[in-house]
Amino acid sequence: MKKKLPIIISAAIAAVALIFYAYFYLQDLEAINLKNENTLTLELSTGGPVIIQMFPDMAPNHVARFKELTRSGFYDGVVFHRVIDGFMAQTGDPKGTGTGGSGQNIDAEFNDMQHLRGVLSMARAGDPNSADSQFFFMLADASHLDGQYTAWGKVVEGMEYIDLLPKGPAQANGAVPEDIRGNIVSMRVMADVDEEEDEDGDKGEGEDEEVEDDATEGDEAGAEAAEGDEGEDEAAEGDDSN
């Protein structure tokens, strides 16, 4: 029993270590999945990707609505109709006029997030609860917007592609001429992109197996053909013997 005791202790320590590893691994995995569920990836006419971190703790209803609209493909192809150099770039209007939206307003969720460069915030009319689908990227800090517009996200990668968007003239309040407007090519929730990549990987493995199976069938067919040739050779030898 004394000889087995160190083995038992070692096994117990290994089991506890494995349990702790599995626990923290699952915790990290859950955190990554949650982060990706609240991350957007955009491709713009100026390039990409532009990665946006959303803040459901700051503006839960806005984040939920953005994910809903994004998953429906609402923002794909939508232009940046108003871009003011050194201030902001506005998009989200399917009409491209600044008067359109999805038809569903979202009540204001003003919060403590500052309107710094790279922050995303909601466009609205005079009514604080009139925000819909239009939003803007901050090109520079603008503290006078703090607490007046609902900030809900921040660019964490690809801000250079936002900076490249064509600007509108100051005398037109940043309205971008239609023939030079930039646009959102695609806008996706990162968690959906990861899931599609996993599915594509599974399909790829299946295709490889099919190719291998086809190759095997080809080898078998080749073997049968070879046997047939041997049979012909034997028949030819039989003819010679006649």
pLDDT of residue 3: 64
Q: Residue 106 in contact with residue 112, Cβ under 8 Å?
A: no
User: For residue 198, what are the CA distances in angstroms to 191, 194, 195, 202, 203?
Assistant: 11, 6, 5, 6, 9
Tens digits of per-residue pLDDT, 173-194?
Answer: 999 999 999 999 999 999 999 7
Tens digits of per-residue pLDDT, 185-219?
Answer: 999 999 999 776 666 665 555 555 554 444 444 45
Q: Of all helices (H) and strands (E), which one includes residue 85? A: none
Cα 223 to chain centroid distance, Å, stands at 49
Secondary structure letter of residue 44 according to DSSP: E
Listed in order, strand segments (DSSP E) in 60-205 are: 80-84, 88-91, 119-122, 135-138, 151-157, 184-189
pLDDT band (50, 70, 90) for residue 29 = very low
pLDDT score of 231 more than 80: no
Tell me the pLDDT of the chain averaged across its residues. 82
What value does the mean pLDDT take over residues 42-56?
98
Specify the 3-state DSSP secondary structure of 152: strand
pLDDT score of 109 more than 80: yes
Residues 6 or more apart whose Cβ sits within 8 Å of residue 148: 110
Backbone angles phi, psi at 39, to 5 degrees: -130, 135
Alpha carbons 166 and 170: distance in angstroms, whole number: 13
Better pLDDT: 12 or 33: 12
What value does the mean pLDDT take over residues 149-176?
98
Tens digits of per-residue pLDDT, 70-99?
Answer: 999 999 999 999 999 999 999 999 999 999
DSSP string, 164-215: TSPPPPGGGTTBPPGGG--BEEEEEEHHHHHHHHHHHHHHHHHHHHHHHHHH
What value does the mean pLDDT take over residues 7-33?
56
pTM of the shown model: 0.71
pLDDT score of 122 more than 80: yes
Q: Where are the domains of the chain?
A: 36-192
Report the CATH number of the 36-192 domain: 2.40.100.10
